[in-house]
C-alpha cells in the first residue's frame, strides 16, 4: 500500500478489543482440543481424563479423582486465556497480519499454535506433564458395583500394556500433540477473525467518512473510488433517523458492507435515535433520559451521516437540499441520489386548534419528555407553596391528558403513579387524594387498537388507580390555566398534555405524488412512491400503506415501520442489483400484537392472537421492548433503571434548562 493510500484511511480499533476477540478464540480452541485429546488417550488404551487428572496433580490437587480432573480442566482454560492474552498483545503490537481477512486469521492461528507447541508445550510436557502422567498411570480411578450402586474407588493397576504402549510411542504422541495444537490455533484464528470482521476493527476512509470491516474492501474502495478513473457509485439517501430510517440503514449496511459500488447516506434533524415507546417512563423519571437515546453514528459504519434539516426534495431530478445552522447563519447543501427512502415521521396534529397548540404540552420527542417532567415537578412545588389557597392548589394539582390511544393511556397511567407517589413521599403539605389526573377521549372507549373487553379492563384499572376517564368528550379550547370541553364544562388546570394524533411534515404534503387526507404519501404494495417506482420509497409514519386484508391503512407504529423498512430495503437491493421487477417483495404484514401499560405494573395486550392483561402484560411489554432496544449498552442501562425503581423512590429533582433560568433572571431584573 502506498504512502498516499495510507494517508486517506485510518483504523478504528483498540488493544482491549483485539485481546478480547483473541481470548474468545483461545477459549473455544481449548474446548475444541478436548476432542482430539480424548481420542489420543483412548487410542492408547488410557483413560480419556488422564491429562486433566495429571494437570490437577501438578498443582497439588490429590483429594479425589474428580477434584483433580476439575482442577486440571480449570488450569487448561486458564492457560488458554493466558495464551490468548499474549497472542492478542503480540498481534496488536506487531501488526504482522490483519485478521479482518479470514485467511490471515487462519494463518496467524496456525502460526500461534505452532509457536505455543514448540516454546511452551514441549518443555512443560517433557519436564512436568510426562513425569506426572507416568505417576498418575500407576493409580487410575476404576468403578466397582455393590448392591446396585456405583462407588468410585482408587486402586493400583497391574496392567502394564498401556504404560508400555505410552512410553514407546513418544514420537507419535508428539506428532499428535502438534496436530492438536494446530487444531487449537485454527479455531483461535478463525473465531477471532470472524468476530473481528463482525464486531471489531473498522477501516475508515477519511475522505468519504465510511468504514469497512475488511481491509481488502477498503483497499478496493480506495482504488476504485479515489483512483485515477473513479467508478460511478449507486447512491442511496435515507431521510429520517427513526425506527424506519435506522432499520433501512442497518439492512443496507448488512447487504453492502463490502460492496464498494454502493454509497449510503442518512440525514436526520437529530444526531440520535429515540426509542419512543419508553418516553412516558422518561417523563416520570423512571428511566434516565439518555438511556433511550442512541447516537445515529453508532449505526453508521458503512454510511455517511448528516445532522441537518431537509429543506427541499426534488423527486424528478433526484436531489435533496439539506440545511444546518452555524450560529445565526444557515448553510445549505444539495445531495444527489439514485434511490431515496423517506422516513421523516410526523408531528403533533392539533386539528387546527391554535389555542390548544399554544397551551398544551406534547409527548413526541425527548425534549417533550424532559419539559413534561420538569413541568409536573414544578406544579407540585408550586402547589406545596400555595397549599393554603385551596382553589389555586387544586388547579396546580390537576393534570388533563387528551387522547385515549396508546400514547395517552400510557402517559396517564405513568403520570398518575408519579404524581401520587411523589406527593406521598415528598410533598407533605399536599394530599394525594386532591391530585386529579383526567383522561379525555372523544370516542366511546379507550384503546381502540385492542378488543373491547381489554379496553374495558384498562378503563376499570385506570379508574381504580384514581384516573378520571371522560369518554365521548372532546377538548374545544384551552388557556394557560383552564381547558374547555364540548359539553360546556370548564376545568381549572395548569397542565394540558396533548396525545391526540399526528400528521406528516408540510414538506411531505407538498411533494408531487399521491397523498391521503392527512397528507401522508400513498405508497404502492412495494412501498414505492407512485410515479417514481424503483427510485423513491416511503416507510413509517409519513407512509400510507393499505393493508390488503382489511382495506384500511396500516397504523403508524414502530413494528410496522420496522417491517416496512425491511421490505423497502429488499426492493432497493433488487433495484441496485438489476433484478427483474417480478422479484420485488410485497409488503403484507399481519400485526403480531399490541400492548399498552396502564400504570401500577399493569397492562393489556394481544400477542399472536392471545389476550393478556394485568402483571403478565406488563412483564411481556418490558421483555419485548427491552429486546428491541438497539444496543446492549442501552438494554443494560434500562434494566438497571427498572431494578432501581423497585427499591427506591422516584427522583423529583427539577433540572432547569438554560432557557428557563434566563427567563427567570430577566423577569427578576424587570421587576427591579
Q: At what angle do helices 632-647 and 615-628 cross, to 10 degrees?
A: 150
Interval 530-556: pLDDT, tens: 999 989 999 999 999 999 888 889 988
Interval 147-205: pLDDT, tens: 444 434 444 343 444 444 444 567 777 888 899 899 999 999 899 888 877 666 577 88
Find the range with the poorest average confidence among 280-289, 345-354, 417-426: 345-354
Compute the 3-state secondary structure of the chain and give helix, strand, coil in percent, each to the nearest 5: 50, 20, 30
User: Which cell numbers in the block locate residue 388?
Assistant: 393554603
- What CA–CA distance (Å, rounded) separates 617 from 202? 41
For the chain, what is the radius of gyration of the CA atoms? 33
- What CA–CA distance (Å, rounded) separates 84 from 500? 57
The domains of the chain, with CATH numbers, are 7-199 (no CATH), 232-269+308-346+504-588 (3.50.50.60), 354-502+594-665 (3.50.50.100)
Interval 457-483: pLDDT, tens: 999 999 999 999 999 999 999 999 999
Bridge pairing between strands 490-492 and 329-336: unpaired
Contact by Cβ (8 Å): 188, 87: yes
Can you tell me the mean pLDDT for 129-155? 55
Strands (E), 230-376: 234-239, 262-268, 272-274, 293-295, 303-307, 309-314, 319-326, 329-336, 339-342, 347-348, 361-362
Q: Which residue, 621, 620, 625, 648, is CA-closest to 635? A: 625
Interval 362-381: pLDDT, tens: 999 999 999 999 999 999 99
Cell 498401556: give the residue. 162
- What CA–CA distance (Å, rounded) separates 178 from 605? 59
Is pLDDT above 70 for 423? yes
Q: What is the pLDDT of residue 5?
A: 45
Residues 6+ apart with CB under 8 A from 446: 404, 405, 408, 409, 439, 455, 458, 459, 462, 469, 471
- What CA–CA distance (Å, rounded) separates 271 from 412? 29
Sign of CA dihedral 240, 241, 243, 245: positive
DSSP code at position 659: H
In this prediction, residue 47 has a pLDDT band, given cuts at 50, 70 and 90, of: confident
Is pLDDT above 80 for 661? no
Can you tell me the mean pLDDT for 353-363? 92
Interval 500-531: pLDDT, tens: 878 888 899 999 999 998 899 999 999 999 99
SS3 445: coil
Q: What is the pLDDT of residue 37?
A: 80
Is pLDDT above 80 for 496? yes
Q: What is the pLDDT of residue 669?
A: 44
Q: What is the pLDDT of residue 307?
A: 96
Can you tell me the mean pLDDT for 335-343? 96
Q: What is the pLDDT of residue 665?
A: 43
Find the range with the poorest average confidence among 137-146, 307-316, 382-391: 137-146
Is pLDDT above 70 for 254? yes
Determine the length of the chain: 672
Return the higher-pLDDT residue of 638 and 13. Answer: 638
Interval 202-243: pLDDT, tens: 778 888 888 887 777 888 898 898 888 889 999 999 999 999
Backbone φ, ψ for residue 392 (5° rounding): -65, -40
Backbone φ, ψ for residue 405 (5° rounding): -85, -165
In this prediction, residue 582 has a pLDDT band, given cuts at 50, 70 and 90, of: low
Helix or strand holding residue 153 (H, E):
strand 149-156
DSSP code at position 546: B
Q: What is the pLDDT of residue 16?
A: 67
Interval 598-626: pLDDT, tens: 988 999 999 888 999 999 999 999 999 99
Residues 6+ apart with CB under 8 A from 608: 592, 593
User: Which cell numbers in the block locate residue 590?
Assistant: 399481519
In this prediction, residue 666 has a pLDDT band, given cuts at 50, 70 and 90, of: very low
Return the higher-pLDDT residue of 587 and 141. Answer: 587
Amino acid at each position: 500500500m502506498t504512502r498516499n493510500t495510507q494517508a486517506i484511511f485510518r483504523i478504528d480499533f483498540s488493544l482491549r478489543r483485539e485481546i478480547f476477540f483473541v481470548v474468545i478464540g483461545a477459549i473455544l480452541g481449548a474446548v475444541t482440543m478436548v476432542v482430539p485429546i480424548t481420542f489420543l488417550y483412548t487410542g492408547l488404551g488410557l483413560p480419556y481424563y488422564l491429562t486433566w487428572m495429571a494437570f490437577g496433580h501438578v498443582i497439588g490437587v490429590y483429594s479425589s479423582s474428580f477434584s483433580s480432573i476439575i482442577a486440571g480442566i480449570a488450569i487448561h482454560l486458564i492457560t488458554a486465556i493466558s495464551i490468548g492474552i499474549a497472542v492478542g498483545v503480540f498481534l496488536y503490537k506487531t501488526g504482522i497480519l490483519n485478521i479482518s481477512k479470514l485467511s490471515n486469521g487462519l494463518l496467524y492461528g496456525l502460526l500461534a499454535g505452532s509457536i505455543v507447541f514448540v516454546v511452551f508445550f514441549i518443555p512443560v510436557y517433557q519436564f512436568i506433564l510426562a513425569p506426572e502422567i507416568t505417576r498418575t498411570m500407576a493409580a487410575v480411578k476404576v468403578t466397582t458395583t455393590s448392591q446396585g450402586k456405583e462407588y468410585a474407588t482408587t486402586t493400583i493397576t497391574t496392567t502394564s500394556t498401556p504404560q508400555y504402549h505410552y512410553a514407546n510411542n513418544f514420537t507419535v504422541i508428539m506428532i499428535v500433540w502438534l496436530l492438536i495444537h494446530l487444531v487449537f490455533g485454527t479455531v483461535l484464528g478463525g473465531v477471532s477473525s470472524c468476530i473481528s470482521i463482525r464486531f471489531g476493527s473498522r477501516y475508515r476512509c477519511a475522505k468519504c467518512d465510511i468504514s469497512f470491516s475488511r481491509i481488502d474492501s477498503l483497499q478496493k474502495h480506495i482504488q476504485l473510488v479515489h483512483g485515477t478513473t473513479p467508478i460511478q457509485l449507486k447512491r442511496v439517501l435515507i431521510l429520517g433517523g427513526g425506527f424506519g430510517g435506522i432499520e433501512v440503514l442497518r439492512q443496507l449496511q448488512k447487504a453492502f458492507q463490502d460492496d464498494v459500488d454502493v454509497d449510503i447516506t442518512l440525514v436526520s434533524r437529530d444526531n440520535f435515535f429515540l426509542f419512543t415507546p419508553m418516553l412516558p417512563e422518561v417523563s416520570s423519571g423512571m428511566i434516565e433520559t439518555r438511556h433511550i437515546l442512541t447516537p445515529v453514528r453508532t449505526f453508521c459504519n458503512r454510511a455517511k451521516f448528516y445532522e441537518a434539516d431537509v429543506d427541499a426534495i426534488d423527486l424528478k431530478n433526484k436531489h435533496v437540499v439539506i440545511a444546518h445552522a452555524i450560529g445565526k447563519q444557515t448553510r445549505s447543501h444539495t445531495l444527489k441520489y439514485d434511490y431515496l427512502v423517506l422516513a421523516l415521521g410526523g408531528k403533533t396534529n392539533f386539528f387546527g386548534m391554535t389555542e390548544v397548540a399554544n397551551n398544551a404540552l406534547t409527548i413526541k420527542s425527548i425534549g417533550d419528555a424532559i419539559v413534561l417532567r420538569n413541568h409536573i415537578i414544578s406544579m407540585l412545588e408550586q402547589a406545596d407553596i400555595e397549599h393554603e389557597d385551596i382553589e389555586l392548589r387544586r388547579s396546580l394539582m390537576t393534570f388533563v391528558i387528551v387522547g385515549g390511544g396508546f400514547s395517552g393511556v400510557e402517559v396517564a397511567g405513568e403520570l398518575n403513579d408519579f404524581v401520587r407517589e411523589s406527593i406521598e413521599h415528598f410533598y407533605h403539605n399536599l394530599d394525594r387524594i386532591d391530585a386529579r389526573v383526567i383522561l379525555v377521549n372523544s370516542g366511546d372507549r379507550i384503546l381502540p387498537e385492542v378488543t373491547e373487553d381489554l379496553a374495558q379492563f384498562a378503563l376499570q384499572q385506570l379508574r381504580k388507580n384514581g384516573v378520571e376517564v371522560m369518554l365521548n368528550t372532546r377538548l374545544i379550547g384551552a388557556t394557560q390555566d383552564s381547558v374547555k370541553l364540548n359539553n360546556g364544562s370548564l376545568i381549572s388546570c395548569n397542565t394540558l398534555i396533548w396525545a391526540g394524533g399526528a400528521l406528516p411534515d408540510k414538506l411531505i404534503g407538498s411533494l408531487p405524488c399521491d397523498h391521503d387526507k392527512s397528507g401522508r404519501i400513498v405508497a404502492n404494495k412495494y412501498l414505492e412512491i407512485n410515479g417514481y417506482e424503483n427510485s423513491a420509497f416511503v416507510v413509517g409514519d409519513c407512509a400510507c400503506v393499505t393493508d390488503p386484508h382489511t382495506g384500511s391503512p396500516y397504523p403508524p407504529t414502530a413494528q410496522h415501520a420496522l417491517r416496512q423498512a425491511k421490505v423497502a430495503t429488499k426492493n432497493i437491493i433488487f433495484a441496485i442489483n438489476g433484478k427483474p421487477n417480478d422479484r420485488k417483495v410485497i409488503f403484507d404484514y399481519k400485526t403480531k400484537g399490541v400492548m399498552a401499560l396502564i400504570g401500577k405494573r399493569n397492562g393489556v395486550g394481544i400477542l399472536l392472537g392471545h389476550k393478556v392483561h394485568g402483571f403478565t402484560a406488563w412483564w411481556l411489554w418490558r421483555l419485548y421492548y427491552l429486546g428491541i432496544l438497539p444496543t446492549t449498552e442501552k438494554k443494560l442501562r434500562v434494566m438497571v433503571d427498572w431494578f432501581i425503581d423497585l427499591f427506591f423512590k422516584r427522583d423529583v429533582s427539577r433540572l432547569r434548562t438554560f432557557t428557563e433560568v434566563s427567563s427567570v433572571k430577566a423577569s427578576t431584573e424587570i421587576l427591579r
